[in-house]
Amino acid sequence: MKESMYDRIYSVVNMVPPGKVATYGQIARIAGRCSARNVGYAMSSVPPESNVPWHRVINSRGSVSVRSHGEPCTAQRQMLETEGIVFSTAGTVDLVRFGWQGPPLDTGSDER
């Protein structure tokens, strides 16, 4: 069975550990064959009963993206702060400090 784009995106987002964030573009690059915008759509479509940590995905400026009503999601910021993420007075996250480095690279070596 072919994995859908959203399934690929959700699989990558599930790898982001508590206390770390990833950007929409980063998730898109890792998931492959999609854009940062696709990741945004996928995050807004996460079913409420799901365990996908959608709140750990932020924009490339290190901030919570504005929602359709024109304001950032305060619940997302609160969830991140609960995990230890610190926001600057400007409302941004230090991506060097809190950014997820991505999944371990498979070097393809079979050394034993």
In a domain, 19, yes or no: yes
In a domain, 46, yes or no: yes
Which residues, in sequence order, are bridge partners of residue 21?
99
In a domain, 30, yes or no: yes
Structural domain that includes position 42: 5-98
* pLDDT score at 11: 97
Quick: pLDDT tens for 74-91.
Answer: 999 999 999 999 999 999
Q: Find the angle CA(87)-CA(41)-CA(96) to the nearest 5 degrees.
A: 30
In a domain, 103, yes or no: no
Residue 67 token pair? 């929602």
Residue 30 token pair? 């890792």
What global pTM score does this model have? Answer: 0.90
In a domain, 110, yes or no: no
User: pLDDT averaged over the chain?
Assistant: 92
Cβ-based neighbour number of residue 13 at 10 Å: 23
Of 31-45, 52-66, 96-110, the range with the lowest mean pLDDT is 96-110
**Considering its fold, how many domains does the chain have in total?**
1
In a domain, 112, yes or no: no
pLDDT band at 73 (very low <50, low <70, confident <90, very high): confident
Look up the CATH number of the domain holding residue 17. 1.10.10.10
